[in-house]
Amino acid sequence: MPLAIVEKIAVEIYDRLSAMVGDSTSYPTDVIEVVRPTRFANFTPRDRQVIITQGVASPVPEFSCPGIPPAVAIAQQFNIRLHVMPSERNTDAIDTLLNQFASDVRKCICQPASSWHTFDGNALFGVFGNQITFTSDGGLEGGNLPLIVTYRVSEDDPTELR
């Protein structure tokens, strides 16, 4: 069964980030796991954990094309959440840890440099949105690094790349 193009992009993002797990040579942040949550939340918050979810998907008329069927361009936001839960005894500034984490994740996603934005030939381009830092009343800290990926498919078949 062919996958929807947006799912192929999601899998590509997941695969790229999963390569960070256990690779402390290429990336200083030792990512512990990358999760696409199930309906019943198959994860517990952990330090240096990445959670990928999908946010809003918006049509992009300027990149859509007329035809039978028309080709529709869609900008899909992926929320890449970076969880930071260092030990209470850790004396590093939380922002320092998060800055390093976000930097490593961004560098990982932007590989290979010349074609990262196509996500294995499935997208027109990708851009990072405004990073939001979240803090809590003693719980986990971290940030959301939104990645907006624009792709184009047939209006009547989201598995057909256009």
Partner 1 sequence: MTLHDLIKQDAESVFCNADDFAESIVYYKRNGRSREIKAVVTRTNAAVLPEGSDLNTPVFEIAVPNDQSSGIASDELDLGGDEIGLSPRVGQPVSRRSIVRLLEHDEGMLLLECR
The CB-of-85 to partner 1 minimum distance in angstroms stands at 5
Using the minimum distance from each CB to partner 1, give the nearer residue, 24 or 135. Answer: 135
Q: Least separation, in Å, of the C-beta of 91 and partner 1?
A: 12
Look up residue 8 and give its amino acid. K
Q: Determine which residue in the list 16, 27, 80, 141 makes contact with partner 1, applying CB under 8 A.
A: 141
Distance, CA of 76 to CA of 153 (rounded, Å): 13
Out of 61, 112, 121, 138, which residue is the one contacting partner 1 (CB under 8 A)? 138
Candidate list 6, 34, 73, 85; residue touching partner 1; CB under 8 A = 85
Residues 72 and 59 sit within 8 Å (Cβ to Cβ):
yes
- CB-based contact 53:78 (threshold 8 Å): yes
With contacts defined by CB under 8 A, name the span among 18-26, 37-45, 106-114, 147-155 that binds partner 1. 37-45
Judged by CB under 8 A, the residue of 19, 21, 36, 43 near partner 1 is 43
Contact positions with partner 1 (CB under 8 A) in 87-116? 87-90
Nearer to partner 1, 22 or 37 (CB): 37
Task: Report whether 57 contacts 77 (CB < 8 A).
Answer: yes
The residue among 53 and 159 lying less far from partner 1, judged by its C-beta, is 53
Q: What is the DSSP string of 10-45?
A: HHHHHHHHHTTTT-TTT-SS---EEE---TT-----
Q: How far apart (Å, rounded) are the C-alpha atoms in residues 34 and 17? A: 7
CA distances from 9 to 28, 53, 118, 155 (A): 25, 12, 9, 18
* Binding site residues, partner 1, CB under 8 A: 37, 40-41, 43-47, 51, 53, 55, 79, 81, 85-90, 134-142, 144
